[in-house]
Chain A
Amino acid sequence: MTISRRVFVKSGGLALFSLGLDPLFLARAALAVRPSAGPPDRRILVCLFQRGAVDGLNMVVPHGDPIYYRERPRIAVPERDVVDLDGYFGLHPRLAALKALWDAKSLAAIHAVGSPDATRSHFDAQDYMESGTPGVKATPDGWLNRYCQHDREHQDTPFRAVAFGPQLPRILAGSAPTLAIDDLQAFGLKGPQPAARDRLTRAFEELYAGSATGLLSTTSQEAFEAVQTLKRVDPAHYQPADGAEYPRGRLGRAMLEIAQLIKADVGLQVAFADVTGWDTHVNQGASEGQLATRLGELGQALAAFTRDLGERMRDVVVLTMSEFGRTVRENGNAGTDHGHATAMLVLGGPVNGGRVLGKWPGLDPARRFEGRDVAVTTDFRDLFAELLARHLGAGDLSATFPGFTPDPARFPGAIRA
């Protein structure tokens, strides 16, 4: 039997305590001397999928371009409301809570990022962004799962790759073990009271320990190990640190649970959650309105998450992704239709922040994709590959992105060297 990484990390922490040293103090000291992340096996990637295609132009606003205001008479974010970042780009006012992270150089935006495939179907574009193979529909697994298959570092913990939601998303589907957790508190055997639950858990544990064969045997061990771990974590009594307030709703709950698992040191490396409601064809709004509400929730959740994690953010990168962007010009319903490139956010300690990354193609109609949408200048796989390589320390990525050769020269530079 192997000693799990979790136990190892935990006893490492205990060893420090027994020497009379406060690990948190050491962490702070390390941060002050050399502001870089911990070893690769402590690092964590959190992916948020903005399903429905977020309007990148109203999330990270090119307020320095008059074309933006000309094309969006009803839905442009007024200059006076934009949270300016660099004189040309600015954040939507409802993302103002993230400005402090920008100033601390731990938030970056990548603009004009997207798929080389021209589809404007949500279905196809989400599929491609999750399989990591634009244009190829038959890819059976997702790129995050393939990464887990080929980088075996963390395979001894059931919490390595977790999707927070009722079903395992395509991006995490595949042969590497992954978890879908809808409710951390409900994970495990159900029972009327804790005693009945524990007894049932023990009974099934004995059943599988003695009677299961093959994959059922190893997986059940992982499952009961996970149940034990969560019992120790005690998710029912979790208190976010530093007064962090997560927004109500699915996203806030998912971010809170991700923070819990990170702090519990259960070996979480890849976390995933969905954020829905971005398909703003009608009455999108500008500083206020539909999109503003969604962005407000996102900003609040991200701000609460970073506050809650505090020092731990030095090992964490959060990435937002969305299947495509939206039309430069507003439509007849004061909304936007399906476009091409969008913007993504990366935040966390290892991020090369305070900058809008990627090559900005501009809004000039002549430079647009098919004359109407922001052109893609960064293949999303170059961004994803950079995060896997430079943040998680992945080696060969050829199997993670089949048919694509990630080239460090094309990486947008989201992670500090």
Chain B
Amino acid sequence: MVSATLGSQTPGKVYPDLPDQSPLGAPLDWAWLRGTRSEWGIHPKPSARGLTMMDIAVGSYAEVPEHPPHRSMAPRGADVDDSTADMGYILNWKTDMWSANVTELYEEAVARQWSATRDIPWGELHELPSDVEHAMCQLCTLLTEVEMIAADLPAKWMWRMNHDFIEAKMFLCTQIMDEARHAEVFRKRALANGGGLLLSRSGPTSLLRTIIEAKTYTQASALMHLLGEGFVLDIFRMGELIAPTDVEKRIFRMCMQDEARHVAYGTMHLRYAVDHDPDVAEEIHAALDHGEQVLIDFGTAPDVSTALALLLAGGADQVEEKGFPLATELTKKQLTSYLARCERAGVGRLERTTIPLDTLGIDVEQIRAAGGGQVAAR
């Protein structure tokens, strides 16, 4: 027989009658009952919406180390045995993937999940003019193609992230689910109204390859969250504007909510990284130098620009008079939003970008002001 003591909850309590062998004769270990170095008895209280990840971030469980001592899948806060296996993580610094808002964004993502099957009023689709249906199907073809990059990319890196940064990994899991749903909803829309999937050419590929082949996660995050998803967020906003029926309105609004969360994570991840490791800024700039070029190639690819212009015009008849001028105006807003987010992320691009700011009439001072916002890093 061995005796066991129950940690700090009832210090000194002894269980003298515990067996030291199982009924089959195997040795038993009661170390978990004898008391560990983990914090015991913290009693987190649920908030109005339930027990959130923020609610349980108390005591030592709220402490996210800058550089965890272990590289195992042990949950942060557990009493980790020194013999626990090394999982081979390569992203072992908090600056590698953390963002100050990541826990809140995880809860937001979980709370705001939706179903492409159930939450879109598919029954309200009605026949559209052929040119408009073709343009919508072309846009959906493109979006079905590009959305999964934002699932593949975190999947590529997550298994290399130290498990102590569990909140960041959990958030990236929600992003993967979001992107699966986006691919689903655009595929469904392409097929649901009598059209189908249309043309896929090499235009988007260089952007997608640039993202997936980024050398570091932070570069990948800059390319995907800040640049790519920021750009797609504005395409979703345009999609809502040009939606021919309430069905597409709803699709684009739901997708833009998800996409904006991803952008919010990426912006604040870069901010966290740059604030804690200023040397990383150059690494991000180098990625964006190239990324902006391939993004412009992507944005001006014929299948993207023509489909959007036709939808903005409401049909083929006014594509030159209305469609392209409105597209140009919205591109200006798109780039303004992107450059403002760069300022906020601590990687101001105004002195470095090759985007023709003057030609596009982009207000540089408005963008510069965006860098003033501060979020306390934690």
User: Bound pair: A and B?
Assistant: no
By a beta-carbon cutoff of 8 Å, the part of chain B in contact with chain A is: none
